[in-house]
């Protein structure tokens, strides 16, 4: 019966997918002819049969068909499967929201898992009081940070067409249409599919930083500005429903961050001027949205003081505005419409803020010195309504505007600055050398002592930046932009300066010193440095292991403690998942990160520091990704501290924030996980067994690290397998990001960024970063002393860990997901591209055995018959998608063969590359993963 009900809930999804697939078929016939559709169906049928029962003769026949295709035919086939997956993904996203609605439309509504309703009900059952929840909400911080890391392979114009198809699905599924209206909707969907077919899938132009900025701003303008207020309304509704006597205000704890236009580590195109223009564009967007909302509010708020009283506070504020701004353009015909009068003044003040950004007005002439004053004006009106029978009028648009202003200020999203530590070290070397001070030849300890004394005593150099190299001048230009941002736009415009590859306290103190140099340059705006938090980023395994000692030295350093005091003892620490995973394998990375967070939390607590971790997670498991709810619950207890800051990258942004309903749900999930984690009781844990669990996982992590390093780094030829058995070179030539794929021109794994490392393995269906080293690490740990048989006691312990330890459970589930997505039947075709052939075959067989061992260990721990038996939805999704992804993989292999032939003309190479880029897009859409 349960299975039947589950199937029934999927019926609307299947209906939509079938409808979209049929319309796509009609478009293919119209655009390419019936023979093309028949060829596509022939290939799809063959891959489905191969999935049911492998046949070497059928596989060879399929390869021959593809080998005989010309490039235009390949492109048409790839386009067919790519658009099919794009339509399917849109339908699945739409179905998620339909399912959430169906929960609430039931006669006895049940709250969906991870919803606020579900979470609050669970907390109340645990005995958590309303006061305890309110206290946690008062110190909560949830900060998603959008990055420009190039993992979104689809163009913005394509994503916008998907949005239009979504809207039509919404209309047809939610309303009763006449036959004529239904046909019109289907025709409109088909029109958009036709447009998709005729639109270039991949970009034929280089991506600039401003293109990335524009892409990021799209989500704020179209989605987040409109999703924040409904999220807070739902939170208020749930709190008052579950706790009937709830009388606590809901604080504004959501904040958004961005790296787009601020992350200059390894990206030479992010300059100080680019950062300033990014800040301007962000601020311009949010001010324009405020002006639009104020215009709507002006139309709605026609209430007259002749009909109902207004507060004396409102009257006084209007009189004050009239005296202070006699030249303000206020056009209110009816003088009794005091709310309209106040809104008109607010509108004018925001316009002045907008003019100051455009250089039409001096910043000293701005009516609003801070966004807090704008919020105060809005709240003043709100109070007047509430005090004068207008509580209902205060809700709606006015409250929405207040929530937006609390969240976005005048800056929209806090822009983080990130730079590599060596750039700061070079700037220090040049600055001190120009002043005749010997600094660079000192030891690390001597540098720390010199910096500490200089900062503590405020003996800061005056630097003539014209004497410096271009890179060092750029450092000081960036610091000037920071000052300009926090003094001219909003104090929250920039709050964090992140130091990549932090290796010692000197890296932090050098940046603090450079900030003080920049502050000293101008007498105006003293004290702006205290708004900037210095954030060490620990990325590699070595750096993560050094992090506790580094932070201890900083917390006990006199000069740094002065800086912390100005920051109200707040310290942000960024931990990198991607590089540590590439460095030592996913399992070792996860265990190391878990341990380091515990140690850093304890150190901060001991020194009276209010810490926050910034989790630099990628979208894929190989880069620390995975389902966010489980990921937050899997963090070590007592390390979250009521705050979480997480990077959102590439396709994850469009998946989580592409639609308003989806964005609201994503925010609910994050907040629900934080609330659940904060009030988790030790009873859920077998805490007395935790020391034994830690010992076992430590042994597994060490063995996993050893095996991973031996395969990836100690085998000097492994990098050649990667470059030949994946389309990594082609990925690096795609126009999907402004940042180079490699840190240097050397072909070493150490120099390759984590994103293309994961992207390449995902495309070739190996999915190596998500599972390599896991199976061998577990296998070696569960063997008995003879080394020939399993130790049943250790196996039972692992099974117990999986059942009771959220960290281990989430990690194993993420691994089994990547094991399921890997396909060594397809990967073998990529391996056949490797030369010499014997080397390719040997490496492939080693990886295949490692994958099979990991699969076996997952089944042993989870006690399943098949991978993902405990997640039938995901299992079925992968099984249904694979036959449609496989044709694109076969075609991609053929394209790689042709691209690697010698003697190609430039036009031949360009034609093949365009088809290759299309295959990369299609496989990414099918697997729902890039990097």
Query: Active site residue: 582, 656, 821, 851, which one?
Result: 582
How far apart (Å, rounded) are the C-alpha atoms in residues 314 and 27? 60
How far apart (Å, rounded) are the C-alpha atoms in residues 859 and 335? 75
Token pair, residue 618, equals 């990628």
Q: Which residue has the tokens 């730079």?
A: 419
Q: Which of 372, 368, 375 is nearest to 353 (CA)?
A: 368
3-state secondary structure at position 418: strand
3-state secondary structure 503-540: CCHHHHHHHHHHHHHHHHCCCCCCCHHHHCEEEEEECC
Q: Which of 893, 899, 903, 888 is nearest to 153 (CA)?
A: 888
766 Cβ contact list (under 8 Å, min separation 6): 725, 726, 822, 824, 827, 830, 847
Give bridge partners of residue 418 from the DSSP assignment. Answer: 263, 498
To the nearest 10 degrees (0 to 180), the angle between helices 558-566 and 541-555 is 90
**What is the number of other CB atoms lying within 10 angstroms of the CB of residue 736?**
29
Q: Which of 405, 406, 381, 409 is nearest to 298 (CA)?
A: 381
Contacts of 157-162 with C-beta under 8 Å, sequence gap 24+, read 157/199, 158/86, 158/196, 158/199, 158/201, 159/654, 159/658, 161/192, 161/195, 161/196, 161/199, 162/86, 162/89, 162/90, 162/658
Residues in the chain: 931
To the nearest 10 degrees (0 to 180), the angle between helices 660-678 and 130-139 is 110
Quick check: 298 and 344 in contact, CB under 8 A? Answer: yes
**94 has catalytic annotation:** no
How far apart (Å, rounded) are the C-alpha atoms in residues 634 and 808? 8
274 Cβ contact list (under 8 Å, min separation 6): 209, 210, 261
- The DSSP code sequence of 658-679 is SSHHHHHHHHHHHHHHHHHHHT
3-state secondary structure at position 144: strand
Q: Which of 38, 29, 40 is nearest to 66 (CA)?
A: 40
Token pair, residue 219, equals 């989500």
Q: How would you class 238 by CB atoms within 10 Å of its CB: exposed for 0-12, middle for 13-18, buried for 19 or more?
A: buried
Q: What are phi and psi of 535, to 5 degrees?
A: -115, 105
Token pair, residue 123, equals 């907390």
**645 has catalytic annotation:** no
Quick check: 614 and 575 in contact, CB under 8 A? Answer: yes
381 Cβ contact list (under 8 Å, min separation 6): 314, 339, 342, 343, 394, 398
Q: Which residue has the tokens 């990160």?
A: 593
Q: What are phi and psi of 365, to 5 degrees?
A: -90, 0
Query: Active site residue: 149, 447, 615, 851, which one?
Result: 149
Q: Which helix (H) or strand (E) holds 497?
A: strand 496-500
How far apart (Å, rounded) are the C-alpha atoms in residues 615 and 631? 11
| DSSP state at residue 612 | E
- The DSSP code sequence of 573-597 is EEEESHHHHHHH-HHHHHHHHHHHH
Catalytic residues: 149, 582
């Amino acid at each position: 019966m349960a299975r039947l009900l589950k199937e029934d809930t999927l019926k609307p999804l299947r209906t939509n997918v079938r409808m979209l697939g049929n319309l796509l078929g009609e478009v293919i016939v119209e655009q390419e002819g019936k023979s093309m559709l028949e060829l596509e169906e022939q290939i799809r049928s063959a891959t489905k049969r191969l999935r049911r029962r492998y046949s070497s003769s059928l596989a060879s026949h399929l390869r021959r068909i593809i080998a005989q295709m010309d490039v235009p035919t390949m492109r048409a086939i790839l386009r067919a499967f790519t658009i099919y997956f794009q339509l399917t993904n849109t339908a699945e996203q739409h179905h998620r929201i339909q399912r959430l609605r169906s929960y609430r439309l039931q006669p006895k509504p049940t709250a969906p898992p991870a919803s606020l309703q579900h979470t609050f009900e669970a907390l109340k059952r645990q005995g958590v009081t309303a006061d305890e929840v309110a206290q946690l909400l008062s110190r909560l911080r949830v900060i998603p940070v959008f990055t420009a890391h190039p993992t979104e392979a689809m163009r913005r114009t394509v994503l916008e067409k998907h949005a239009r198809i979504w809207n039509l699905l919404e209309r047809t599924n939610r309303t009763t249409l006449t036959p004529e209206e239904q046909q019109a909707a289907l025709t409109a969907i088909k029109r958009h599919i036709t447009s998709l077919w005729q639109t270039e899938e991949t970009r034929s132009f280089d991506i600039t930083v401003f293109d990335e900025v524009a892409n990021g701003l799209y989500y704020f303008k179209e989605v987040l500005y409109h999703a924040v207020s409904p999220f807070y309304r739902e939170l208020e509704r749930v709190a008052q429903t579950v706790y009937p006597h709830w009388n606590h205000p809901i604080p504004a704890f959501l904040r958004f961050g961005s790296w787009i236009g601020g992350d200059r580590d390894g990206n030479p195109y992010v300059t100080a001027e680019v950062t300033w223009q990014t800040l301007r564009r962000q601020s311009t967007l949010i001010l324009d949205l405020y002006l639009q909302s104020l215009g709507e509010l002006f139309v709605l708020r026609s209430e007259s003081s002749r009909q109902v009283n207004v507060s004396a506070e409102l009257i006084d504020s209007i009189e004050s505005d009239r005296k202070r701004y006699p030249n303000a353009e206020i056009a209110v015909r009816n003088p009794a419409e005091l709310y309209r009068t106040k809104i008109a003044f607010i509108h004018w003040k925001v316009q002045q803020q907008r003019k100051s950004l455009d250089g039409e007005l001096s910043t000293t002439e701005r009516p609003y010195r801070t966004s807090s004053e704008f919020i105060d004006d809005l709240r003043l009106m709100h109070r007047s309504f509430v005090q004068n029978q207008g509580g209902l009028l205060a809700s709606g648009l006015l409250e929405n505007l207040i929530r937006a202003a609390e969240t976005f200020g005048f800056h929209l999203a806090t822009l983080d600055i990130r730079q590599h530590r060596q750039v700061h070290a070079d700037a220090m070397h040049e600055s001190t050398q120009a002043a005749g001070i010997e600094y660079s030849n000192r030891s690390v300890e001597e540098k720390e002592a010199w910096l500490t004394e200089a900062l503590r005593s405020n003996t800061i150099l005056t630097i003539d930046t014209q004497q410096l190299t271009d890179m060092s001048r750029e450092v000081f230009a960036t610091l000037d932009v920071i000052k300009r941002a926090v003094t001219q736009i909003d104090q929250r415009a920039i709050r964090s300066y992140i130091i990549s590859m932090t290796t010692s306290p000197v890296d932090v103190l050098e940046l603090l010193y450079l900030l003080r140099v920049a502050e000293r340059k101008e007498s105006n705006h003293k004290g702006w440095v205290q708004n900037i938090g210095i954030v060490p980023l620990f990325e590699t395994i070595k750096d993560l292991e050094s992090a506790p000692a580094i932070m201890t030295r900083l917390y006990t350093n006199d000069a740094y403690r002065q800086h912390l005091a100005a920051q109200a003892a707040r310290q942000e620490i960024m931990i990198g998942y991607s590089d540590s995973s590439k460095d030592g394998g996913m399992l070792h990375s996860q265990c190391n990160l878990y341990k380091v967070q515990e140690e850093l939390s304890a150190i901060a607590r001991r020194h009276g520091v209010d810490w926050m971790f910034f989790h630099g997670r990628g979208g894929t498991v190989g880069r620390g990704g995975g389902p966010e709810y489980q990921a937050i619950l899997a963090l070590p207890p007592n390390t979250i501290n009521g705050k979480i800051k997480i990077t959102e990258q590439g396709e994850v942004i469009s998946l989580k924030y592409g639609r308003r309903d989806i964005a609201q749900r994503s925010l609910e999930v994050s907040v629900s996980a934080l609330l659940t984690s904060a009030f988790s009781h030790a009873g859920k844990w077998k805490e007395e067994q935790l020391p034994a669990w830690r010992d076992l996982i430590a042994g597994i992590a060490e063995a996993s690290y050893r095996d991973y390093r031996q395969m990836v780094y100690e085998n000097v030829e492994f990098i050649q397998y990667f470059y030949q058995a994946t389309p990594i070179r082609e990925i690096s030539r795609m126009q999907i990001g402004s940042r180079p794929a490699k840190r240097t021109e050397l072909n070493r794994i150490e120099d390759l960024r984590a994103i293309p490392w994961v992207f390449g393995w995902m495309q070739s269906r190996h999915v190596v970063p998500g599972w390599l080293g896991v199976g061998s690490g577990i296998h070696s740990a569960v063997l008995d002393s003879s080394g020939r048989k399993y130790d049943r006691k250790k196996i039972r312990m692992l099974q117990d860990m999986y059942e009771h330890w959220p960290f281990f459970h989430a990690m194993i589930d993420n691994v089994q997901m990547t094991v399921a997505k890997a396909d060594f039947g397809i990967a073998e075709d990529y391996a056949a591209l490797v030369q010499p052939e014997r080397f390719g075959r040997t490496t492939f067989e080693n990886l295949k055995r490692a994958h099979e061992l990991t699969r076996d260990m997952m089944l042993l721990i989870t006690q399943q018959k098949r991978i993902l038996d405990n997640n039938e939805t995901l299992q079925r999704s992968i099984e249904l998608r694979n036959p449609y992804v496989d044709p694109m993989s076969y075609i991609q292999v053929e394209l790689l063969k042709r691209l690697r032939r010698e003697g190609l003309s430039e036009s031949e190479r360009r034609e093949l590359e365009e088809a290759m880029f299309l295959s990369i897009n299609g496989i990414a859409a099918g697997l729902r993963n890039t990097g």
